[in-house]
Homo-oligomer: A and B are copies of this chain.
Amino acid sequence: MLILGVDPSLTATGWGVIRMEGSRLGHIANGTIKVPAKLAMPVRLSMLFADVSAIIRAHEPDDAAMEEVFTNKNPQSTLKLGQARGAVMAALGAGGLDVAEYAPRLIKKAVAGTGTAEKRQVQAMVERLLPGARPDSLDASDALAVAIAHAGMAGRNRMMEGL
């Protein structure tokens, strides 16, 4: 089973693909989509859509996961983040994927064992849980973390079904 994690933003969208075989995880690929900020918004969003679509075609993931957004930022930032997420989610939908969303605390807990883990701690655990993975950026590392959290939940759900 292949899982695509995505950490969308307008400036740098991290992504990562991992493999889950039983309880074993493996790293497949990761990267960061950067779109020049000087381009017009529709162009930036269409490039984001195209790049996510290309990643789906290249890796054919079975599941996709993202961090849930609880936002207290200013409304204009929230709107822009929403637009980036909209372009990414439209690409996931066009690629036949639904998306599972996980709260930041839950992702930290799944990866580092505690919901209050710091960013560096999470990053270090991502590299430990996925031998050979060299996250392209902090955003790519976050994307791999979401994928790991999803693998944990998916694994648990399967066990529950087996009971």
Contacts and interface: CB of A to CB of B under 8 A. Distances in A.
Interface in A72-94: 72-73, 75-76, 78-94
A40 interface: yes
A48 to B, nearest CB: 7
Contact of A86 (B69, B83, B94): B83
Q: Binding site of A, secondary structure by majority: helix, strand, loop or mixed? A: helix
Interface in A44-68: 44-50, 64
Chain copies in the assembly? 2
Contacts of A79: 69, 71, 78-79, 81-82, 85
Q: Which of A41, A64, A90, A91 has the most B CB atoms < 10 Å from its CB?
A: A90
A98 interface: yes
Interface of A: 40-50, 64, 69, 71-73, 75-76, 78-94, 97-99
29 contacts: A42-B90, A42-B93, A42-B97, A42-B99, A43-B98, A44-B93, A45-B89, A49-B49, A49-B94, A50-B94, A69-B79, A71-B75, A71-B76, A78-B82, A79-B79, A79-B81, A81-B82, A82-B82, A82-B83, A83-B83, A83-B89, A85-B86, A86-B87, A86-B89, A86-B90, A87-B87, A87-B89, A87-B90, A90-B90
